[in-house]
Amino acid sequence: MTGRHAMFAGLAVVLLALPHFVPPYFMHLLIQILIWGFVYTAWSIMGRFGFVSLGHGAFMGVGAYVPALLWNYAGLTPWVGIPLGMALSVLLGLVVGYPCFRLKVVGHYFALVTLALSQVVMLSIVAARDVTGGSLGFTPKAVGHSWFALQFPEKVYFYAISLALWLTGLAVWHWIDRGIGREALDAIAEDEEAAASIGINVIGEKLRVTLISAALTALGGAIYGQYMMYLNPETVSGIAVSLQIVFAAIVGGTYAAIGPTIGALLTISLNEGLRVAFGTNFIGAANTIYGILLILFIIFMPRGIVGMIEDTFKRRWRGKTASTA
Amino acid sequence: MDIYLLETIINGILLGGVLALLALGLNLIFGVIDVVWIAYADIVMCGMYLIYYLNAELHWPLLLACSVAIAWVAALGVLVHVLIIAPILGSAPINQLLATGGLLFFLQSFATLLFGTDFRNIGVRLPIIRLSGIYISSARLLAFAVAVAGAIALYFFLKRTFIGTAIRAIAQDRDIVGLMGVDQRHIYLVTSAIGGALAGLAACLLILQYDVHPFIGNTFGPLIFMICVLGGLGDMIGGFVAAFVMSQIISIGGFYFSTELSYVFAFTFFIVLMFLRPRGVFSR
């Protein structure tokens, strides 16, 4: 156990020291990896139990747009706007989640209902173009360095914020993983009817993880908006983002806390790497390869990279114990 | 009644024909193989590009280009099944949905790579029919007629042929059918080919009305899943009716409000109906 603590301490030192060495471009990538890693972790809080939501674009969109709109039109600080966005997102999760779980809308059907939800949010943002700027996107009013507006031109501030955000995500993941509801959720994932028959509150447990997941995703969307200082309905909501979230989480693996972050690290560096390699001469080349990799991942490694590494280690470990016995 | 509203309603009905055709293809795959092809609309996009390429760049006659496209998209359907669905047929259904989601990324980016993001059309514009003050696009009328004919042909194929009966049987109970001497893998291939061919046919009808671009699938893709589910799994007639209900919501909503809002109404309507009738609107 001490080895593990030392490893964490080492990691913390590296992460804290990083801003002193890393050039701004890599800093930008790192912040994105942390924020998206947080969002993917938030998704996997419910996704790992087989409740595959294609609607997290909706929560992210609400979380990103509400504080930005309140800031521009009412001058309300994001410190109030972000919790409001999260609350609205939770409400949305409740309005769609409760009937879904009550009426046992599961599997494909759950995925499609949540997909419809993310389209509703994206198209509503586009339709309200007088207020939100529609497809052209939305820029929060910039005021320079300000704690009140939660705007920092220097990257190091957002690095610290996104690091804290990411650690919060991991903490919540662990809290649920170690919590009393964990066994109940596993049972539900295995067989809902059987779980209900032994007295598990199926609707309550599902709703709990869904609402936590929705709130965190909204928070991730808000911080993403504050950092990028530009929102576009296509990049923070709708089918494309929803699928992106699901893919990255699955590529990384949803069975370990670090999995979704590995997914973020891999997909973002792959995307950037391919973009740099191919340049702008071959628009689409990067995503073509990305698409093929996604298909291969789901066919050959449904447990994600972390799951695969775990399996290999377990097999090796088992092999050793078998040979010594 | 307002003549413009009447025109809107008629256009809605005509749009419903093509949507119904797409929903039928998806419904067949959904019902028989129990897989949601998230990339179905993007397979249609592939067909539209092929027709564009053959007709506008290689100057093939349109009918020949369309026939080739239908065959090619049918083959694409089989390829999707063999390469992507078949290897993971035994795993959780959601994995199959996600694998075709990867295909969606792949097809959209590959089309961007080949053709760029420009909007392209084949430059064929069918005449507009004027009927006592109402303007109707004959491309839409043709699309509607062909879609209905295609749906009827599919209906008789499923009802009257041996393989059609086997397809319907497998949708009802996939374990028992094996005992009756039906080869499931064979049926799955045939179903994927038919699903692909319907997508190809839809591509022929859509290229006459719309410009093709790599992301055209995103505009009507989510809509056809909703139609397919609303109509009820494996319920061909239900899917057909649902297509017209959705196309009316979109046409009339677009007439009074805006296109985006009309889609918001359609998707909200879908969510609410899923709660009221979780097994499809027309289920008994």
User: Residue B122: its pLDDT value, please?
Assistant: 81
User: Residue A324: its pLDDT value, please?
Assistant: 46
SS3 readout for A133-163: CHHHCECCCCCCCECCCCECCCHHHHHHHHH
User: Residue A309: its pLDDT value, please?
Assistant: 81
Nearby residues of B269 by Cβ (< 8 Å), 6 or more positions away = B246, B249
User: Residue A5: its pLDDT value, please?
Assistant: 76
Q: How far apart are CA A92 and CA B67, in angstroms?
A: 47
Convert the pLDDT of each residue in B4-15 to its tens digit: 888 888 888 888
User: Residue A325: its pLDDT value, please?
Assistant: 40
More confident residue, B122 or A56: A56
Report CA-CA distances (Å) from A181 to A107, A175, B141. 21, 10, 57
Where in A109-264 does DSSP place strands (E)? none
Convert the pLDDT of each residue in B109-137 to its tens digit: 899 888 888 888 887 777 788 877 778 88
Residues of chain B with confidence (pLDDT) below 70: 1, 233-234, 279-284
With a cut of 70, say whether residue A117 has pLDDT above it. Answer: yes
User: Residue A86: its pLDDT value, please?
Assistant: 97
Q: What is the mean pLDDT of residues A150-162?
A: 90
More confident residue, A260 or A5: A260
Q: Is B101 in contact with A127 (Cβ distance < 8 A)? A: no
Report CA-CA distances (Å) from B169 to A33, A183, B165, B282. 49, 39, 6, 20
Most confident of A6-10, A121-125, A187-191: A121-125
Q: Mutate which of A98, A278, A292, A298 to test chain B, going by most B C-beta atoms within 10 A?
A: A298
Q: How far apart are CA A314 and CA A280, in angstroms?
A: 43
Per CATH, the architecture of B3-276 is what? Orthogonal Bundle (1.10)
Convert the pLDDT of each residue in A202-257 to its tens digit: 899 999 999 999 999 999 999 999 999 999 998 888 888 898 898 888 888 887 88
Q: Is A127 in contact with B258 (Cβ distance < 8 A)? A: yes
Answer whether B20's CB lies under 8 Å from B150's CB: no
The sign one gets for the Cα dihedral B19, B22, B25, B26 is negative
Of B99, B104, B112, the CB nearest to A283: B112
Q: Is B101 in contact with A243 (Cβ distance < 8 A)? A: yes
Residue A321: pLDDT band (50, 70, 90) is low
Where in chain A does DSSP place strands (E)? none
Answer whether B228's CB lies under 8 Å from B31's CB: no
Contact map slice: B 210-229 vs A, CB within 8 A: 214, 218, 221-222, 225-226, 229
Widest distance between CA atoms in chain B? 60
Name which of A255, A116, A218, A296 is nearest B105 in CA terms: A296
Residue A311: pLDDT band (50, 70, 90) is confident
Convert the pLDDT of each residue in B256-273 to its tens digit: 888 889 999 999 999 998
User: Residue A66: its pLDDT value, please?
Assistant: 96
Of B93, B106, B260, the CB nearest to A291: B106
Q: Tell whether ipTM is more than 0.90.
A: no
Q: What is the mean pLDDT of residues A1-25?
A: 78
Chain position carrying tokens 């910039």:
A142
With a cut of 50, say whether residue A19 has pLDDT above it. Answer: yes
The sign one gets for the Cα dihedral B180, B184, B190, B192 is positive
Domain extent listing, chain A: 25-239
Most confident of A183-197, A236-250, A300-314, B36-50: B36-50
With a cut of 50, say whether residue A57 has pLDDT above it. Answer: yes
SS3 readout for chain B: CCHHHHHHHHHHHHHHHHHHHHHHHHHHHHHHHCCCCCCHHHHHHHHHHHHHHHHHHCCCCHHHHHHHHHHHHHHHHHHHHHHHHHHHCCCCHHHHHHHHHHHHHHHHHHHHHHHCCCCECCCCCCCEEEECCEEEEHHHHHHHHHHHHHHHHHHHHHHHCHHHHHHHHHHHCHHHHHHCCCCHHHHHHHHHHHHHHHHHHHHHHHHCCCCECCCHHHHHHHHHHHHHHHHCCCCHHHHHHHHHHHHHHHHHHHHHCCHHHHHHHHHHHHHHHHHHCCCCCCCC
Convert the pLDDT of each residue in A75-91 to its tens digit: 999 999 999 999 999 99
Q: Is B98 in contact with A298 (Cβ distance < 8 A)? A: yes
User: Residue A33: its pLDDT value, please?
Assistant: 95
A301 contacts on B by Cβ (under 8 Å): none
Q: Find, in chain B, the residue whose alpha carbon is nearest to that of A107.
A: B94
